[in-house]
Amino acid sequence: MKINRNLRLQLLLQNWLFVVIFLVLVVMLGYLATLYRSAVDITQANRNLLTQGSINVLNQMKGPIHVTVYATNDDANNGDTFRKGVVDFVARYQRAKKDTFLKFINPSEEPKLAQDAGVKVDGEIVVE
């Protein structure tokens, strides 16, 4: 088969069309990945998912859930990852109940808020 000008143009067009369609599919998959989230727990004791009882209790709750953590900032250089642990823990509840909100307050920077909430120890968590 001889490659003439028309055939060369068709092959070039076909290759570019493939690249464009492929890029559109990649972008669409990336967009869909931001819309839908799922979690799979592969631990033996199912530690990273809520039990059905916890999910039922969350579904019975009316209105949003506000979780306020009164904790100083983490120092990751010294292995202090308390806030990250709380974020990971509350994320399980946020997946089950979308209107669960998490807020951190540093009692050293805002002692009045901590005092008004009755916080006595660094790391206390208030759920409303």
Token look-up 């759920």 returns 127
So where are the chain's domains? Answer: 1-36, 52-128
Dihedral of CA atoms 87, 89, 91, 94 in degrees, nearest 10, equals -120
Amino acid at 47: R
CA distance 52 to 24: 39
Domain 52-128 indexed as CATH 1.20.120.1630: no
Residue 84: pLDDT over 70: yes
- The predicted-structure confidence for 25-82, as pLDDT tens digits, reads as follows 999 999 998 887 777 777 887 777 888 899 999 999 999 999 999 988 876 666 678 8
Residue 70's SS3 state is strand
